[in-house]
Structure 1
Amino acid sequence: MIDLRPVGYVIGLIVSVLGATMLVPGIVDALAGTGNAGAFFEAALISVTAGLITTMACQNRAGSSLSIRQAFLLTICIWLAVPAFGALPFIIGAPEVRLIDAYFEAVSGITTTGSSVFVGMDDLPVGVHLWRAMLNWLGGLGIAFIAMIFLPVMRVGGMQFFRTEGFDTFGKILPRATDIAGQLFFIYLSLTLACMGTYAALGMSGIESVEHALATIATGGFSPRAASFADYSASLHYAGALFMLLGSLPYIRYVQLVQGSALPLWRDAQVRGYLTWVASAVIAVSIWRVATSDQPAEAAFRESLFNLVSIMSSTGFGMGTFPVWGGFAVIVAMWLGIIGACSGSSAAGLSVFRVQLMFAALKQQIQRIHAPHRVSPIRYQGRRVDMETIDAMVLYLGAYILGFGVIAVLILQSGVDFESAVFASWTSIGNIGYGFGPMVLPTGTFVEFPDVSKLLMILAMIMGRLSLLSVFVVILPRFWRD
């Protein structure tokens, strides 16, 4: 039987810290005189108390190293427990929604999906907007840690390839996870501050620049405005696209850049592929839009750039009329969302790395058909990729496609129309946050979806955020046997 005390100890500490962070939006609401501050203070008290009780109950196992099974379980429990407490302010105070809607919003925030079920966004208290952005930021930071530290060690979906490629970059392996975490936090915070300052300099109000910056670098997509970025200037659209791109690049490359080595960033095949695919998609959709409408070229390019970067980086911000462009633009957007951005960032989707590896494996199989006796090992950035990594990657791709299809069918069966169901599964399992379909367009949210559909989307968001296989591993009976 797995010893749950080390897991409980860490969960308790995280919930306590989460509760303490609720004081920030509470103080903001108190200063703004919104009348909603008490909801955050009450939620903070509940969260801190529950976290401390859990920590004290499990403290006799404090400091114990985690086994691989405990690491899997801890990773999943964090993304189940944190939203449960993160949802409390939405239930106790504004917007005073039902449990299912509050949990949906919190899961969407902490998984950096960006989908919402809140309506009347412009009328919500400033503290609620700040808390949603903070959930994005905290979730993106946590995902960066998991992507760079836990997933390679747990050998999920081919991520073991980064176990040495990612960390053996300073002449030696980084000795402890805390060293990696410290440098990742510095990069993450620096990008956030740079984004915040840029937004403010370009005309965004102080509090909105903070909220948007937190959500942008986390690739989370929660905006304090119902229209997202649509009401802002063209310069802010370009700045948003830039920082969404920066937030979806591998963080380990930024660490190397700070250490004085820029070459790994420029030589990274994943980064080059990501930027090339984004640029190609933006140019193609812009040309298509200009050719099929009367929209000016600059506006078509800017709207395509912002929305496609938002989708491929799994951020979820939106602007303009892109959701109703239809046809070619929607197909391109769907494929970009499935591919996703770079591994080792807070972005989601299959990841450029896995797709590139899939193409390399496909190329090898085609070569074997033409020349059965030819020895042609699969290589990525000059390194030979072992078959264990390929097998894990193929298994992950299969699980992703199967999960996407099953979730879409189940949402369809719950009473949602076909288009809305397909894109609800797409946006959830890819943590994209973008909504398409008749049930989404009227409000721009998923509030009209049945509760069963919302539960399925919650499951898909968590599965997609945690690389699917880690969820499947935990639900197997064998996982719980000694």
Structure 2
Amino acid sequence: MALPTLRTLGFIIGIFLITLAVSMAIPMLTLLIFEHPEDLNAFLWSSLITLVAGLALVVPGRPEHVHLRPRDMYLLTTASWLGVCLFAAMPMMLLHHISFTDAFFETMSGVTTTGSTVLTGLDEASPALLIWRSMLQWLGGIGFIAMAVAILPLLRIGGMRLFQTESSDWGEKVMPRSHMAAKYIVAVYLAFTLLGVIAYWLSGMSWFDAINHSMTSVATGGYSTSDASLGKFDPASHWVAIVLMLLGSLPFTLYVASLRGNRKALIQDEQVRGFLGMLLITCLAFSVWLWFNSDHSFLDALRIVSVNVVSVVTTTGYALGDYSTWGGFAVMAFFYLTFVGGCSGSTSGGLKMFRFQVAVTLLHANLKQLVHPRAVIKQQYNGHNLDEEIVRSILTFSFFITMTIGAIALFLALLGLDPMTALTGAATAVCNVGPGLGPIIGPAGNFASLPDAAKWVLAAGMLLGRLEIITVLVLFTASFWRH
């Protein structure tokens, strides 16, 4: 790879690091508000080191007349996420006195909005640590993507390309200029976050808890300010969480389309209708099952089930009680839900709803072709023809996500973890869900007791899942590095 190209990549990563350094001022302000000045040094030093590193990459300047190719975008995407995670881990090491492995795992889980955690004692933790974890999820949810879409056009680099390497959104562009798209996306993201803060506060949370949970709900991340997650708070806040998780799991490009006059963009979208319909049927069916098999009233059963189901499907990671103790049926149901994910172009992870819908469309077309071999069967989804490129990309991604989960689970089993922990840990990492199943990493546990090697492998799985695997795997091909 040419030196000018590497300089350009370094310049852009440097901008991200400077932004990260500046954002550390918010935890510092939080410490002053809560009168914990003794913890300031952790963020002061971390911010200074990150700022120096960012300036070192930016000061040489961006070379003129350098055009980044699509393959350069894949390297930029992966390198920027790794760089941000490395520097964002510093405050956790200095403030919470945990190992670099644990700090990197927690940060990668935050930035990829996975929600898995190695920390305990959150109810008594430093407010700066709590707000920093929430900010990482908020930035990772869509903040970094939107910022890239806004910044890269100014550098004469196609910002939408980076957006597409970080998401599966292959729909039509909602507007011709990507920096305008970024403004609308950021505006929607901020609006949802602010409305969430107000709604959480009205539901009984303190302002601090409301701010944290609003950021992690809209980002579908799932970090909480309590070891009990949402179980600590009033039932009204559970309904707020459900609404915010749903908002974060729908395509942000469709919100932009709605703002620009297409009022029926969300309603008419086949993916959105399928996603919401699936959630409604699953929550109602599961609520009836829990109602008959527990002492809960139907309304309580509906609330508990809806929080947990929506949290898992949208890959948020909140927990309300330990659903792994509900019996074998519940365990298997939640394991299957781990793979679903939200909609393309959202802050959710997982396989995404459109891939399931396209698979059903292809199955239906193939069955009709068997009955009518000479017929020309149209294969359409959401009003568009399913061309060979889309079908190939879906098959490739589905195959490699299955292989990746299997390989990680096998490695975790080699480290001595039980099959339940190994398999669900791999699935929850790659699908960016958060909690796994079982007594160790289930909704009532965390990942602290896992060996360091397992944490590094799971962190790699989180990155692969967030960047939809192919973006990272392409870097390991010989053809990628050839001129």
What's the TM-score once normalised by structure 2's chain length? Answer: 0.93
Deviations 1:13-58 (A, max 9, x none): 101110111111012113322221110111000000111011123x
Matched, 1:149 2:160: yes
Match of 1:45?
48
Match of 1:84?
86
* Contact 2:181–2:256 (8 Å) recurs in 1: no
Match of 1:325?
326
Match of 1:365?
366
Provide the rounded CA distance (Å) in 2 between the counterparts of 1:61 and 1:360.
47
Letter in 2 for 1:281: T
Provide the rounded CA distance (Å) in 1 between the counterparts of 2:441 and 2:371.
48
Match of 1:405?
406
Match of 2:153?
none
Shift in Å at residue 443 of structure 1? 6.0
From 75, 78, 85, the equivalent of 2:77 is 75
Match of 2:209?
208
* Contact 2:245–2:310 (8 Å) recurs in 1: yes
Shift in Å at residue 253 of structure 1? 1.3
Query: Equivalences for 1:62-461 in 2 at 5 Å?
Result: 64-93=66-95, 95-142=96-143, 145=146, 149-150=160-161, 159=168, 161-162=170-171, 165=172, 167=173, 169=174, 174-441=175-442, 444-461=445-462
Shift in Å at residue 150 of structure 1? 3.0
Match of 2:11?
9
Shift in Å at residue 152 of structure 1? 7.2
* Contact 1:339–1:352 (8 Å) recurs in 2: yes
Letter in 2 for 1:195: G
Provide the rounded CA distance (Å) in 1 between the counterparts of 2:345 and 2:196.
20
* Contact 2:322–2:444 (8 Å) recurs in 1: no
Shift in Å at residue 6 of structure 1? 1.2
3-state SS in 1 of match to 2:441: coil
From 26, 29, 33, the equivalent of 1:27 is 29
* Contact 1:141–1:218 (8 Å) recurs in 2: yes
Match of 2:59?
56
Provide the rounded CA distance (Å) in 2 between the counterparts of 1:472 and 1:270.
27
Shift in Å at residue 288 of structure 1? 1.3
What's the TM-score once normalised by structure 1's chain length? Answer: 0.94
Letter in 2 for 1:150: R
Is the alpha carbon distance of 1:62 and 1:232 closer, same or farther for their aligned partners in structure 2, counting shifts above 3 Å? farther
Where structure 2 has 5 or more consecutive residues not aligned to the other structure, the ranges are: 150-158
Deviations 1:155-200 (A, max 9, x none): x99x4742xx2x1x4xxxx333211111110110011001111111
Identity percentage of aligned residues: 33
Shift in Å at residue 280 of structure 1? 1.1
Deviations 1:208-230 (A, max 9, x none): 11011111101111111110100
Provide the rounded CA distance (Å) in 1 between the counterparts of 2:100 and 2:479.
33
Shift in Å at residue 442 of structure 1? 9.2
Is the alpha carbon distance of 1:153 and 1:346 closer, same or farther for their aligned partners in structure 2, counting shifts above 3 Å? closer
* Contact 1:110–1:136 (8 Å) recurs in 2: yes
Letter in 1 for 2:325: V
3-state SS in 2 of match to 1:61: coil
Match of 1:475?
476
Provide the rounded CA distance (Å) in 2 between the counterparts of 1:286 and 1:471.
39
Provide the rounded CA distance (Å) in 2 between the counterparts of 1:363 and 1:144.
36
Shift in Å at residue 281 of structure 1? 1.0
Deviations 1:253-278 (A, max 9, x none): 11122223221110101100110111
Aligned residues: 470
Where structure 1 has 5 or more consecutive residues not aligned to the other structure, the ranges are: none
Off by >6 Å, runs of 4+ in structure 1: none
* Contact 2:350–2:465 (8 Å) recurs in 1: yes
Provide the rounded CA distance (Å) in 2 between the counterparts of 1:203 and 1:99.
36
Provide the rounded CA distance (Å) in 2 between the counterparts of 1:270 and 1:152.
19
Shift in Å at residue 296 of structure 1? 2.0
3-state SS in 1 of match to 2:59: helix
Provide the rounded CA distance (Å) in 2 between the counterparts of 1:189 and 1:397.
32
Provide the rounded CA distance (Å) in 1 between the counterparts of 2:252 and 2:260.
13
Provide the rounded CA distance (Å) in 2 between the counterparts of 1:48 and 1:131.
17
Provide the rounded CA distance (Å) in 1 between the counterparts of 2:285 and 2:353.
19
Provide the rounded CA distance (Å) in 2 between the counterparts of 1:304 and 1:143.
32
3-state SS in 2 of match to 1:229: helix
Shift in Å at residue 389 of structure 1? 1.0
RMSD: 1.9
